[in-house]
Structures are given as structure tokens and as C-alpha cells.
Amino acid sequence: MTTNRPYTSWGNWSKISAYSTSPDADVTDYLSGGDSDWCELMEKSGAYDLICKAYRDAINEALPAGVSLAGDKFLGPYEIEEGEFDGYPTTEDGDVDLKACLEGIDLGQICDRYDVLTLDDIAREMGSQAKEPTKAASRAMQRLKVEPLARVQLDGWAQPRAVYLAEQARAALKSRPGAGARTDRASV
């Protein structure tokens, strides 16, 4: 492959999603079905930005080497060398089929990976019977060395609240002593 080759636009995001202007707009559309407080929590905690970045990273990983998504445009080599994109799906015209390259990306799975939980949510998932369940959840997260993604202030909240990535918090809760297995007994 030649270095310092000229690149050109291979089209914009509408080649992939006819009713969308960009991958970020797809993320917004996907998340907009949620509760308004949760949507605001996703935005203010930075989880929305993490999802957009992870989605774009997945898109660029799925594309052939030398082809990338920049903003809402696909960029690729102006001239394609013989066999350069062998093994990638093609259109009727013999062009790389960008849409087919991206079919395996699951936006829902990416969104789930960056979902967030407050300490109230974590306390419910723990099944906490403590007098102050959010304090018990906070202590559990500290003991398990799970750092909050952010501290967020929403309208109606008296003070900012810690927000955790759900995947990290749930994994830590599953690994804690007493979560499904006795760890204080020696194996017989």
C-alpha cells in the first residue's frame, strides 16, 4: 500500500442510516426513549459522551484499514489498489459496502455498557435493608474500590449525587464476599 495517498469522501452517514445525520444522532434517538431524569443523568454524568465515543470507535474498527468515519463523513483512498479491500463486502458496483461492514455493531449493547446507577439504584440492587441504604451502598462502592463516574446535580435534588457506571458497579457487587458464595470457609 502506498503511503501519503490522497483521500476523498466516500459519502456521509446517511449511507448507513437514511433518517439520521450522524452516529451521535443515532445515540440520541436510542436514548431518548428513556425517562427524562435518566436521560439528563446520562448527559450530565458524561455517559452520553462515552457512548458516542465507543460507538464511533466500534464503527472505525469495523471499517477496512484506510477507511474511517470523520464527523459524519466516511473518508477513504481516492484510488484503490488491486485487492486492497478483498474480504470486505461490496456493493453491486464493486465499492466497499460500508453499511454491510457495520451490521455487527450493536448500539444497544454499547449503551448498556455505559448505563449509570445512582447510590439509590445500587442500594436497591444490593437489596439493602440498612436504615440508610444509600450510605450502605456508598460504603460498599468504597470497599470495592469502585469510583463514581461523576457527581451530578439534577433539578429537584438537594445536592449532587455520585453516579456510577452500572457495569462496573454490578460486577463489583457480584464479586464481593457473601455474594452467592461463602468465602469465610475453607474448602473441604
Question: DSSP assignment, residue 90?
Answer: B
- pTM (2 decimals)? 0.83
Residue 37, SS3 per DSSP: helix
Residues sharing a CB contact under 8 Å with residue 75, sequence separation 6 or more, in sequence order: 7, 8, 9, 10, 67, 68, 69
Q: Model confidence at 179, in pLDDT bands (50, 70, 90)? A: low
Q: What pLDDT is attached to residue 96? A: 87
Average pLDDT for residues 70-97, to the nearest whole number? 84
Phi, psi (deg, nearest 5) at residue 80? -100, 130
Q: Amino acid letter at 32?
A: S
Q: How confident is the model at residue 8 (pLDDT cuts 50, 70, 90)?
A: confident
